[in-house]
Structure 1
Amino acid sequence: MRERRPLPIVGQPQPERADAARNRQKIIEVAARMVAECGAGDLSLDEVAREACVGVGTVYRRFGDRTGLLLALMDERERRFQAAFLSGPPPLGPGAPPGERIVAFLHALVDLILANEVLFLLLEKGGTGNRLTGPYQVHHIHLATLLAQACPGADTAYLADALLAPVNAHLICAQRGERGMTVERIKAGLAGLAAAVMRVTS
């Protein structure tokens, strides 16, 4: 089985042949439509291949398995998110104080997860490999950089992990479904956690 590729980091495009790129885009568009219509739980690579009018082998060679295809579906969403916090308007993007940007980032990450909850749940359940690679690494570096500005001298690598730990689909789903928490309460909790971290370490 072909090795699964992590979601890309901004600034690292992966060149493809024109025909391969066309097939990849066709497969992703079909898969996205099928997920929108029927959900991701029963997504079948064989059915995606039939709907996209490509060989089953093409889908398996390009994406490896269903998790690989789900990662590809998240690719464009992740790229837009990265662009927003790296170069978009404040407070998520540059121009706001680091503390405000940290909270805005955590809130935006919650929104991203909620907008793609089924995909995130399946990816987390599927065990996509080392969590410290791909998008997580970008998120971690971004948070650690902001923390270094807000809390000079603090262990920003550890604190970035600590702030990212509660922002995952399974926990957020349980908080909402089992504990009855609203999205606003979850976001307020993350803001309070970030404020406490900055207050203690500053």
Structure 2
Amino acid sequence: MDFSVVPFGKPRGERADAVRNREHLLRTAREMIEEHGVPKVTMDGLAERAGLGKGTVFRRFGTRAGIFQALLDADERQFQERVLSGPPPLGPGADPVERLVAYGRARVAFLVDHHTIARAAIDRDEPALVGDASLTQLHLRMLLRQCAPMPNLEGVVVQLTAALEGPLLLVLSRPTPDAGTASEINGFLGDAWQTLIERLVR
């Protein structure tokens, strides 16, 4: 499969000054999150901290949720690059079963680590879509075809995608993520994913 033709994320092609402003705003937003937490990041606060006009921030993001959607989009791109061209076993070069396990563990960690940003990225006026499940579906389909051809592959891919992407929704459904530390959640869900894959392909 030629992943280079898959249009993940938003298309590029912005003016150089717009790109600089976007990157500056995203860096500033990350600094604010690191220092004060997600709840303290506002449109006005971001504009003031970045030294840009409020109009620039509103044009760039539209709403406060748009700030966090942009952060997620940028991090999704980095995650995709690790999957498509990073070192094995997450990237190319490893046994397909190893890659399936590694992908699941990395994806769980990504989703859990981003759950506060993902919560803030949900706009009440828009569908609550979090993360880019399209990459997960494509990647699982490719690897399963290599290591475990089976009937109803498309349905299995949908079910596995739901099993992998769905736990974030469980975390987001709680007022506070009280299921344990991020490391404990990553281990719990990562181990479960590995068990699921190994049982499926054996």
TM-score (norm 1): 0.79
Does residue 139 of structure 1 match 2:142? Answer: no
Q: Give the Cα separation in 1 of the matches to 2:125 and 2:192.
A: 27
Q: Give the Cα separation in 1 of the matches to 2:20 and 2:185.
A: 41
Cα–Cα, structure 1 residues 69 and 159, in superposed 2: closer, same or farther, change >3 Å?
same
Contact preservation (8 Å) 1:163, 1:194: no
User: Which stretch shifts more, 34-43 or 113-122?
Assistant: 113-122
Q: % of aligned pairs identical?
A: 34
Shift of 1:33: 0.7
TM-score (norm 2): 0.79
Shift of 1:179: 7.9
Amino acid at match of 2:46: V
1:102 is aligned to 100
Contact preservation (8 Å) 2:47, 2:54: yes
Q: Which runs of 5+ in 2 are unaligned?
A: 1-6
3-state DSSP of counterpart to 1:154:
coil
Q: Give the Cα separation in 2 of the matches to 1:94 and 1:36.
A: 33
Q: Give the Cα separation in 2 of the matches to 1:9 and 1:42.
A: 30
Moved over 4 A (4+): 124-128, 178-182
Amino acid at match of 1:136: A
2:168 is aligned to 169
The count of corresponding residues between Structure 1 and Structure 2 is 189
1:149 is aligned to 146
User: Which stretch shifts more, 117-126 or 37-46?
Assistant: 117-126
Shift of 1:124: 5.5
Amino acid at match of 2:84: L
Q: Give the Cα separation in 2 of the matches to 1:198 and 1:171.
A: 27
Does residue 30 of structure 1 match 2:45? Answer: no
Does residue 197 of structure 1 match 2:200? Answer: yes
Cα–Cα, structure 1 residues 77 and 122, in superposed 2: closer, same or farther, change >3 Å?
same
Summarize the alignment of residues 1-202 of structure 1 with structure 2, pairs less than 5 Å apart.
9=8, 13-123=11-121, 129=127, 131=129, 135-167=132-164, 168-171=167-170, 177-178=178-179, 182-199=185-202
Q: Give the Cα separation in 1 of the matches to 2:156 and 2:124.
A: 26
Contact preservation (8 Å) 1:117, 1:169: yes
Contact preservation (8 Å) 2:84, 2:92: yes
